[in-house]
Structure 1
Amino acid sequence: MRAFDKLWESQRLEKSKKLDNHQTKSKILGKLSQVPEQPLNFLPRPHELNKIKSLLLENENQRVAVTGISHRVGLQGMGGIGKSVLAAILAHDEDIRSVFPDGILWITLGQQPALTLRQLDLAKMLGDSSQIFQDVQQGKVYLGELFANKACLLIIDDVWKTKDAQAFNILGQRCKMLITTRDSRVLEGVGAVNHPVDLLTVPESLALLALWAKQHPETLPPEAHQIVEECGRLPLALAMIGAMLKGKPDPWKNVLYKLRNADLEKIEAEFPENYQYPNLLKAIQVSVKALEPDLQKRYLDFAVFPEDTLISEAVLQTFWQSEGLNEHDIQDHINLLVERSLIRRDEKNCLTLHDLQYDYVLKQAGDLSILHNRLLAAYSQYCSHGWHTGINDGYFFQNLAYHLRESGRKDELYRLLTQSPDWMEAKYIACIGDAAYVADLQLAINNFTDPLTADELLILVQLHTARQIVNQRVSLYNNDDLATLVWLDREEEALNHARLRLEIEERFYGLITIYKSLYEKKTPKPEILDEIWEIIKSMDGLIKLEAFCDLANLICKIGTDSKTYNAILSQTFELFENKNYLLNSCQDDWAKMKFLQILSKLALLLFILGKDELAYITFVEVHEAIKLCKKNFQLPKLWITLVINLAEANFFHQAYSISQIIEGNYFKINVLSHLAKTLFNKGMQAEAKLYLAEVQEIATLLNDSVGAEQALIEIVSATAYAGDIKQAQEFLLMIGDNGWYTHALMQLSIALARCGNFLKAEEFIQKIEDRGIKNSEDREIIETLAKIDLLSNAEEIANKIKYIPEKIIALTSLIKSLHKKGQKDESENLFSTVKIHLELMPENIGEENLLAVCTALAKIKQFAHGLARIKVDDIDIFIETLTDWDTAFEEVESGLSIVIFREVIRIASWVSPHWQEIYQIFPNVKRD
């Protein structure tokens, strides 16, 4: 736990001694973040408030996590019943604020929330403005760390779907969550206590109506009781009707008549999804119709804004002044709408509508594209040199893309995002980071689905290239650059770049680098270690184990009071106890060698922890196991890791002895070079120079050779293609019983299939399956079988592949063959299977496998699916990947590939001088 947290906790415990029924003379009150102001004319509902309050305060004095659902409380009820108002009142309550001294945080979701942006809002509320989340899962991991040591109340308003609420399942032990929703299933899905919000009683309804009408309840006319029933005893309906009647004693009968004679059939037709709220919709209709015609029009203008968006009064000044209203008239309009309870205004003069009011204006505003174009016309007056020169009023840069799309000006949106970097740079400044620009790109990308026309494909590739530019900006910073930024006191910038990395492993090592630099500066931040620990938890397999050892080594070397330390210690010894079981569980040579590399790091960790004997035993076990490993390209790295860790643990003699028994001068050079570097790092220059001299001597003896197994594979394949199957099999038997043998067996099977000897090919395929080893050449067999109408055999082979990326690639090969044969229905059915596997595909499959899957999707013209899954940090790799798609582009339209590549290179030139030079000489080919 951080020193600040310790100090804070000691103060909180001291305060708790003085608490009496949550009352104290001096309270530390949690800051309110984005919490709405307490509404005008609020009617106290003590019975409701006290029940909810007791749930939120339950176990608040306990310092340990409370098992069960009491950490999540839900307010469930129909629209307009007052759920959000109750939540806001509780948020302002001093007893609540004193229990959650780290803050009361409020976010509103609605029906179609941008979840990662709302996650970013929470990060900013807690003081971290440098974030961008690639996806919801990354946001959850990071926010989980931010909330871990906090005592916060998180209020999530207007939740429609369980999965949306689960994106904020990030509570620390001292946090609680309050959710408002119409759907009880949402609360069940997140394990929240459901507190149903009841309708107002008749006396409460009359009191609220009187409050808004500015009358004493006893002076209300007889029609008041009937108006209450027509409003369904809903607070929002009563507020609007009461505000309309304020200071007007005569029209009560008139209002009652209008409510009773509202056209319910028309309301049902216009609001079919919300017809369960006819009382509220009647009240909205009557209230709006009571406005002057011009003000009615202005109220319907609110349909132009995205749902659940805060609208500053400055935005309305820009909008309406362009149409002839002066500043004072606009302010009068706003004030009257607030007084009539048709909009709400917070302490920052930002305006919002209830979601049913928003639904009403949306349905009544007519052609929405005209409305959006009116707003764009108003803002265009301030953008004389292009949209990127617009006014930064807290709304324009955040929402221009939305308005361009909704106005029907999609082509203009695409040009804005892809024709120059001006909008990207302006938005980076206005919105403090790249997250909002990425959101614009995603908004545009979502417009495209397969199959695509040539025009659509060109635009989609442009958009994804622009998205890649953001990754490129991040990838320009390697770990050394991150360390430099820290030393230049620009740690937030360094953290932003590290967290933007697409690959979880790269993100991990970037954060490790930053923490090391901060520690060396004597400004360590233990919370970064906790964040790294959360990243490790989301990893899988051997990558996770290796990352764990690297983090553990760091923590144990430097010492820290991070909460991660104890977890690291316990899992270190657990890993040691289970090391033999895990080693025996490795199913192939690669996994075994990777795990031995991890064990070498574990041995060093044990040494750092003072367990010298356990460390030595582990080193010896690793050494003996490596000697039994078959030679392959991974062996040098394995020896190097062992030598370095032995040297780090001061076992220099053992490290040097290993270098002497390694076969192969190339391996020996690598091991001795790394040993020398380690000695240099430990200040042992004399010893290091001796090793370097030996390296130089061995280097004179080094010569290259071609592996015999690889040569035999080529002979097997060529002999089989020549038709001499017997001779090919004899050469096959000369290859040892290892992975090369399987590779040769596959080549022989492909050759047989292509020669038409399908029975023999299937015989060898069965041998491969019996060995339990499959690889990427399966798809060549599948393609061959499909060409000669053995489709069922091809599909059977594809479905037996266990590794999901390879299975997807194999199935797409079959789909392409089916499509060429005109079997469109069969290919579409098979692609449905592919889509299921795409959803199941793990994240950490490696860049090469991922790009192979993307290319396979492109080859069957599933370009949108393929582009969406390309995740690389380097623009060069992105472009190189697209070069493998050129045939697929040409199948869409002749000459399209050259046009696409020119556009890709143009956008790449925004961040790369290299591509800028190439773009200048690239032929300017125009499509017909």
Structure 2
Amino acid sequence: MSSEYTLEQEITLLEQDYILLTELQTELQQRLTIEEKNRPILQQKIADNDKEINEIKQKLEQLKAAAGLVPHPTSTLPPATLHNVPDLPAYLVINLLLFNELKAKLVIKPSLVEIAEGQKSPLLIQSPSGMGKSVIAAVLAHDTAIRRTFSDGIFWVHLGQHSDLMSCQIALIRALGEEVKHFLNPQAGTERLRQLCAKRNCLLILDDVWDVDEVLAFNGLGKYCQLVITTYDNTLLDFLLRSIPSIQGYVLTPLVEEQAIQFFLNCTGQQLSPVPMEVNTIARACDYLPLALKLIAALASNQPASVWNTLVDSLQNATTNEFPDTHPRTLMQAMQLNVDALGEQSEYYLALAVFVNYSAIPQKTVVMLWQYLYHLSADQADAFISKLVTRGLLQVETVSSNQCLSLHAFQYDYLYTSAEVEKLHHHLLAAYRRHCLHGWSNGPNDGYFFEYLCTHLLAAERTTELKSLLLDFDWLYTKLQRCPLHKLLSDYDLLPDRELETIKKVLSHWVNGLQPDREQLANYLLSQLVDQPAAEIQKLLNQLKEISSEWQPPLS
């Protein structure tokens, strides 16, 4: 080691070399199981690598002893708790070189420059849909060394195309152990997160980011906190560099051919020797994209290998002109084949296009819609969901102790383009109406109804009903009990209307906690709105007066 380095710098660099060589050893051992013809070469590399690892380990022990340092503190810490981090898939394939590089960036202690800037450098992983950037982020989160490095927790925040940024901030604040009060803008949420994380050692994974502001809302939380960001957008890094000069970007590439073949066979559940030439053809036709391979494997698993070439023909002939070019064409073609294979049941799947938040759709809400539209029993609905999961067409996750269905962005875009979404909005409202015999304010607290009813009314062009709802005290009070204040206020932005703007302005100053007393809130609204002459607001005032029996108008 050059004498230009201090003792501490030498230790840091050797620690980084040790981690990289250890992970390289893992990669070589994995290759040893699938590369029969290269076995002697790989065995020699493993032996040489093992010797170098031991030499570095001994050198580290000597240097740490000379410096009077104790072993790295992360080696004795228990692994951090994972918050909302998805489980790893049954069949896992990742770019190990990229994984090792990212891991080294996460586990090595931050430099003095990074600490001076107030944070460790954020890491951004970019690739088109279907290459497995979320998977590699999940593998990082599950890694024991990384979990020990971020001892105060690893937190997964899924954003997506239609993200509710403040709801994501509130969920994170609650995961950090605080019951959050209302706040009206992301800046207030960021400030509270910085207060909570100032002395914590956390890793925050922002998955499926579409906008710069989503990253900035979680940036700079603390000296020893770090961001990992996944995105399909190849321009996001350039925009973020203007605000976060230290951010480091990485591009995830497709699988190599051997990895793609092995992954495909694993997903089919068949281990064939020798490997049929059809598998090579399928891997190339899928452009070596893991999710495309998984989707085609779901179809191949029910067919003998001798007819797999027909899948290639079908894949290449699938029409995708009507689908957005945001996602790889091969991925959309694989989706089309899988949806076609569902037959009449494809209508059930297409119905998921109606839901606004495609990353967390309550399962019981989906079952309710299917029961209304297709008369499915709960058991039939559950069986169909299991079928979709097996075929890689959706995931089932637990969100706040509720079972939720989750779609990838490309899956949602496929469904939205293929379904008759306008009709589905009306059907969903009709299904919910059955559970609201005494008005919308008596709807189910299922994690979706109160959050998105107004959005569906607008999409169904029921604007008169929407405005009437937003001027109904029973609705606004109940929604304020079920949702954060910003969710209620956002509904008033759906329609350009003077009376609704007035109500929103008054409600935005309501800061008395998550669950206001009914009469107390009625008194507040009366005091703020009593001078409003609009007839529709007068109807609301009459409703408030019935609730607030002791309220007296101010003396003129």
Whether the TM-score (by the shorter chain) exceeds 0.5 is yes
In the aligned structure 1, how far is the partner of 2:549 from the partner of 2:507?
A: 16
By how many angstroms is 1:86 displaced? 1.0
SS at match of 1:95: helix
Stretches of structure 1 lacking an aligned partner (at least 5 in a row): 1-15, 449-459, 478-492, 498-872, 883-896, 919-928
In the superposition, relative to structure 1, how do residues 409 and 381 fare at CA in structure 2: closer, same or farther (>3 Å)? Answer: same
Match of 1:404 among 454, 457, 477: 457
- Choose 252-261 or 335-344, whichever is displaced more: 252-261
In the aligned structure 2, how far is the partner of 1:94 from the partner of 1:352?
A: 26
Listed as ranges, the matches of 1:550-699 within 5 Å are none
Verify the 8 A CA contact 1:338 1:344 in the aligned structure 2: yes
SS at match of 1:156: strand
Matched, 1:426 2:478: yes
Matched, 1:379 2:432: yes
Verify the 8 A CA contact 1:473 1:911 in the aligned structure 2: no
SS at match of 2:250: strand
In the aligned structure 1, how far is the partner of 2:510 from the partner of 2:248?
A: 45
In the aligned structure 2, how far is the partner of 1:255 from the partner of 1:203?
A: 20
In the aligned structure 1, how far is the partner of 2:119 from the partner of 2:415?
A: 38
Structure 2 counterpart of 1:344, which letter? Q
Q: Deviations over 1:126-167 (max 9, x none)?
A: 122332221122222222212212111111111122223212
By how many angstroms is 1:182 displaced? 2.1
* 1:467 aligned residue: 504
* 2:284 aligned residue: 229
* 1:360 aligned residue: 414
Matched, 1:58 2:108: yes
Verify the 8 A CA contact 1:213 1:242 in the aligned structure 2: yes
In the superposition, relative to structure 1, how do residues 390 and 251 fare at CA in structure 2: closer, same or farther (>3 Å)? Answer: farther
SS at match of 1:228: helix
Verify the 8 A CA contact 1:120 1:133 in the aligned structure 2: no
SS at match of 1:159: coil
Verify the 8 A CA contact 1:144 1:170 in the aligned structure 2: yes
In the superposition, relative to structure 1, how do residues 304 and 49 fare at CA in structure 2: closer, same or farther (>3 Å)? Answer: same
In the aligned structure 2, how far is the partner of 1:899 from the partner of 1:423?
A: 19
SS at match of 2:235: helix
In the aligned structure 1, how far is the partner of 2:324 from the partner of 2:303?
A: 34
Identity of aligned residues (%): 32
Which structure has the highest helix share of the two?
1
By how many angstroms is 1:113 displaced? 2.4
- Choose 241-250 or 349-358, whichever is displaced more: 241-250
In the superposition, relative to structure 1, how do residues 349 and 19 fare at CA in structure 2: closer, same or farther (>3 Å)? Answer: farther
Matched, 1:317 2:367: yes
Listed as ranges, the matches of 1:139-288 within 5 Å are 139-188=189-238, 189=240, 190-191=244-245, 192-216=247-271, 218-249=273-304, 250-263=306-319, 267-268=320-321, 270-274=322-326, 277-288=328-339
In the superposition, relative to structure 1, how do residues 879 and 58 fare at CA in structure 2: closer, same or farther (>3 Å)? Answer: farther
Structure 2 counterpart of 1:410, which letter? T
In the aligned structure 1, how far is the partner of 2:217 from the partner of 2:228?
A: 14
Match of 2:163 among 90, 94, 113: 113
Matched, 1:389 2:389: no
Q: Deviations over 1:501-546 (max 9, x none)?
A: xxxxxxxxxxxxxxxxxxxxxxxxxxxxxxxxxxxxxxxxxxxxxx
By how many angstroms is 1:349 displaced? 3.5
Q: Provide the aligned length of Structure 1 versus Structure 2.
A: 469
In the superposition, relative to structure 1, how do residues 44 and 137 fare at CA in structure 2: closer, same or farther (>3 Å)? Answer: closer
* 1:346 aligned residue: 397
Verify the 8 A CA contact 2:210 2:233 in the aligned structure 1: yes
* 1:416 aligned residue: 469
In the superposition, relative to structure 1, how do residues 304 and 176 fare at CA in structure 2: closer, same or farther (>3 Å)? Answer: same
SS at match of 1:464: helix
By how many angstroms is 1:901 displaced? 6.1
In the aligned structure 2, how far is the partner of 1:145 from the partner of 1:158?
A: 26
In the aligned structure 1, how far is the partner of 2:348 from the partner of 2:204?
A: 34
- Give me the CA root mean square deviation: 3.0
SS at match of 1:164: helix
Match of 1:292 among 343, 346, 364: 343
TM-score calculated relative to the size of structure 2: 0.77
Q: Deviations over 1:632-671 (max 9, x none)?
A: xxxxxxxxxxxxxxxxxxxxxxxxxxxxxxxxxxxxxxxx
In the aligned structure 2, how far is the partner of 1:30 from the partner of 1:913?
A: 53
TM-score calculated relative to the size of structure 1: 0.47
Q: Deviations over 1:808-862 (max 9, x none)?
A: xxxxxxxxxxxxxxxxxxxxxxxxxxxxxxxxxxxxxxxxxxxxxxxxxxxxxxx
Structure scoring higher RCO (CA < 8 A, sep ≥ 6) equals: 2
Structure 1 counterpart of 2:362, which letter? S
In the aligned structure 1, how far is the partner of 2:299 from the partner of 2:382?
A: 19
* 2:182 aligned residue: 132
* 1:899 aligned residue: 535
In the aligned structure 2, how far is the partner of 1:71 from the partner of 1:79?
A: 25
In the superposition, relative to structure 1, how do residues 878 and 139 fare at CA in structure 2: closer, same or farther (>3 Å)? Answer: farther
In the superposition, relative to structure 1, how do residues 911 and 437 fare at CA in structure 2: closer, same or farther (>3 Å)? Answer: farther
Match of 1:447 among 482, 487, 495: 495
By how many angstroms is 1:900 displaced? 6.0
